[in-house]
Structure 1
């Protein structure tokens, strides 16, 4: 023992250096071999080599994608096959319905999404919590068979309690219920509402991953999806979390805005397939589509073609990114985008600028008041690159708007949970929907145009007028934009 103690005393600096070198080299090799983005690989190699111990630890926590090769891949694929066999609807000619330019976009969606494009969907736009929450609560109270609810944030506030009570009433009626809340998002309010839901007897879980055998969330990999699925035929999805800040009746003139969608038809069943994947990933419990989708009810008119597009840091990585690139490539007249967090990467920015240079009118609406100050700084630092390419950037004057909306040529729409930033497009588990319907596209376009009518146009001159120290602050924060 004395010899070991003496050895450690004499050589501990060498041992520490050897351990540090081993950890750094191992982490650097892993990053070089597993990162597909050369910029990410270079960044991580630099971090782990230049920061002994801390660098490898950060890479272990935030740099390794343990989701992409999860052990449920076979079962998850089988769930999608079950869905495809469960719901089949004829598809109208997309070129005639939405426009000839969208025929190739449909082919792109066929190859990116595991879900087929289905006709027979009745989709209703819901404006903010004032329309969305009452409709969702009424659907829960009317449920006769099953409820699946997934949310990034489910606050323990006045609206969250209304949802909790509605779920309790449904549980007392004997309705089968599953609730999935993101482990990071669950901490937005104290105490987390999961304790109340479990006390009501509702089967509720947190979306999280294991690290080193410990039950703890990945702050870098979040389930940002918002899903409510009722009785096998009715669904809700979009950008809205469950929190009172979107209710005018509760927050008055300070209420934030958002957009959600009510769906009847095959696309609603796709929502369940996505939920079932995430539920099995989290709990290892498989929810059979035959049990949850027993009722087949024809959706009311009008019916439109639509399908879900899910993106996540597994085999669906960059799905939404690829769809957006394809949509911008086929645009012929007008692109409208509304995004609360607008931080496109260079590839997406190039596609936007290329569309503008082709003569396409590209209008992008971002909040004048943002709920995330750091993100707003990073956004501001990058706007000049988009404006210089010919795109028009508008800062809305009203309260914060959390909507994620895109329309192309008044014929195709893309809506859901994805923001146009690196986290949403590569790290988060997101759920969006493409809709081939001129009427819905016009409705969304009118909403965006209404924002533009009361917005301020951002110009290169207005950006140059920002004081230098603020510009420098924005650029420094922008360097960390992939992690905001």
Structure 2
């Protein structure tokens, strides 16, 4: 019997197209956005032999059993801490009502699961050296508990320094908890975590759970970067643990990123976010610490934790609300500029209101398809009146938002579909003129090292490049 005969090949093609049709119907019924559903359905219908396996890996973004399980775990976690008298700091949120600037973010109190809290201190940590110097200093001074969460941890020089420091603190009797994403840290050898566990450090990898088919599911990545020391000092931003974040790896170096050091009542929110993720991974609560007292003065902060298990698309709506609140300016930095229709419309409306709208993106690609899609969106934004800049010295990875003269936000969320709907993200929203001025100076320095995209750049782009950008945009909703 000829197993490679024409009839066998024909049956195989028919089977693949049948499976592709079933998957296309599934995509239409389950993918959250119309753009994403169309992108998947069309490609599954016409070229299933190319897209069927990627759909099993990247698709099924609603993944109902996972979302249900995650919500149930979050509820269990909240019930577990209900006996700890954990939220006396909520009373501090009342002072946020006195802020006219925060009042312009009318949806934010209900959009965020955690309140806007007064009497915090914040400090910008510009670049990897400043960030990890501050984090390592805080960990060295730890006396009770260290909570560490990163999307990526590498077993390189920086990763080994972190490992050695955490083992040292565990040997001193400090309770140390480490959480990293299993996909983001796929290159991390098992020996790294085993060494930590052998030294008394509680260590887990955050991973998707569900039915047997979900073993191929790599959506729902935990993209958060949170460090909390003794319940007093917290860190949040865009850095992961790797030498490239210190600018040590070409061709993307020097790496440009930003973190924030924060103290005050909002640190309790960082702990609660970490507790949710830790509870999912281990079904146990980490130690949670509240200080005996807080400062009587300070700035307003709201910790925004978003994820695919939210009842609505928190991250996308956060950007939409921030852009709509702008009266004078809205400056946004992101390594990936693949906005959904709501965010892009908000940017265009801001331009029509006379707002100074600026987007800062990389000039070098780390993911070529995303870079191509970002380039096309950048061209369309320029045509709409948005000023778009490309950072020249190296790869810009920071995620920052500046609105008018008081409102800023720094964290882990990118301007793309994955951050909007598929990843677990965090942003620290701050309402304070002095801190906003610091962010402004930082971004002005970045703009000075950037090149603005002009209409001439659009005209001079080769037609073949434009075709590649448009093809990349077709798949951008599923990137």
Please give the range of the TM-score, normalised by the shorter of the 2 chains. Answer: 0.7 to 0.9
From 412, 419, 425, the counterpart of 1:417: 412
Residues 1:183 and 2:179 are matched in the alignment: no
Separation of aligned partners in 2, 1:215 and 1:42? 23
Write out aligned runs for 1:328-407 (5 A).
Answer: 328-407=323-402
- The answer on whether the counterparts of 2:71 and 2:309 sit within 8 Å (CA) in structure 1 is no
Partner of 1:88: 90
Q: Do the aligned partners of 2:181 and 2:206 also contact (CA within 8 Å) in 1?
A: yes
Shift of 1:167: 0.4
- Describe the shift of the 1:21–1:456 C-alpha distance in structure 2 as closer, same or farther (beyond 3 A): closer
Instruction: Give the deviation of 1:357 after TM superposition.
Output: 1.3
Q: Distance in 1 between matches of 2:240 and 2:49?
A: 38
Partner of 1:235: 234
Which residue of 2 is the match for residue 259 of structure 1? Answer: 258
Please state whether the residue corresponding to 1:147 is helix, strand or coil.
strand
CA distance, structure 1, for counterparts of residue 413 and residue 186 of structure 2: 21
Residue 169 (structure 1) aligns with: 168
**CA RMSD of the aligned region, Å?**
3.2
CA distance in 1, matches of 2:369, 2:194: 31
More displaced stretch, 117-126 vs 249-258 = 249-258
CA distance in 2, matches of 1:136, 1:214: 39
Answer whether contact 2:207 2:281 (CA < 8 A) is retained: yes
Pair 1:303 & 2:303 matched: no
Aligned to 1:37: 33
State how far apart, in whole Å, the 1-side matches of 2:272 and 2:374 are. Answer: 34
CA distance in 2 between counterparts of 1:98 and 1:465 reads 45
Q: Is the 8 A contact 1:98 1:438 kept in 2?
A: no
Q: Look up the match of 2:316.
A: 321
Structure 1 residue 239 displacement after superposition: 0.7
- Check 1:325–1:142 CA distance in 2 against 1; reply closer, same or farther (3 A cut): same
CA positional deviation for 1:260: 0.4
> Normalised by the size of structure 2, how large is the TM-score?
0.88
Which secondary structure state, in structure 2, belongs to the residue aligned with residue 444 of structure 1? helix
- Paired with 2:366 and 2:261, the residues of 1 have a C-alpha distance of 26
Q: 1:222-276, CA deviations, whole angstroms, 9 ceiling, x for partnerless residues?
A: 1110011111222111111111223369999943121101111221111111111
TM-score by length of 1: 0.87
Q: CA deviation at 1:374?
A: 3.2
Give per-residue Cα distances to partners, 1:6-39, cap 9 Å, x unaligned: xxxxx99999799768755654454343334223
Question: CA distance change for structure 1 residues 80 and 410 in 2, over 3 Å: closer, same or farther?
Answer: farther
Question: CA offsets, 1:336-376, max 9 Å, x none?
Answer: 11112122122211110110111111121112234333332
Q: How has the CA–CA distance of structure 1 residues 249 and 92 changed in structure 2, closer, same or farther, with 3 Å as cutoff?
A: farther
Post-superposition offset of 1:173: 1.2
For residues 389 and 220 of structure 1, the distance between their equivalents in structure 2, rounded to whole angstroms, comes to 32
Instruction: Provide the rounded CA distance (Å) in 1 between the counterparts of 2:176 and 2:347.
Output: 42
Q: Name the SS for the 1:149 alignment partner.
A: strand
Worse overlay, 329-338 or 59-68: 59-68
Q: Which residue number corresponds to residue 8 of structure 1?
A: none
Aligned counterpart, 1:468:
463
Alpha-carbon distance in structure 1 between the residues aligned to 2:148 and 2:464? 45
Question: In structure 2, how many angstroms separate the alpha carbons of the residues matched to 1:41 and 1:372?
Answer: 22
Shift of the alpha carbon at 1:483? Answer: 3.8
SS in 2 for 1:237: strand
Count of matched residue pairs: 469
Q: Relative to structure 2, which stretch is displaced further, 453-462 or 16-25?
A: 16-25
Deviations 1:408-461 (A, max 9, x none): 111111210001111111111111121111111111111111111232111111
How far apart in 2 are the matches of 1:34 and 1:321? 19
Tell me whether 1:445 sits opposite 2:443 in the alignment.
Answer: no
Distance change (3 Å), C-alpha of 1:66 and 1:177 = farther
Query: In the alignment, what sits opposite 2:74?
Result: 76
* 3-state secondary structure, aligned to 1:204: strand
Match of residue 3 from structure 2: none
- Aligned position for 2:140: 141
Q: Deviations over 1:169-202 (max 9, x none)?
A: 1111122222111111112456773344234342
Deviates more, 1:72-81 or 1:32-41: 72-81
For residues 251 and 41 of structure 2, what CA distance do their matches in structure 1 show? Answer: 50
Q: 1:67-89 deviations in whole A, cap 9, x for unaligned?
A: 66332424413545748634234
Q: Partners of 1:451 and 1:276 in 2: how far apart?
A: 35
Q: Residues 322-349 of structure 1: CA distance to partner in whole angstroms, max 9, x if unpaired?
A: 1211121121111111112122122211
The 2-side partners of 1:454 and 1:50 are apart by 44
Q: CA offset at residue 90 of structure 1?
A: 2.8
Unpaired runs of 5+ residues, structure 2, are 1-6
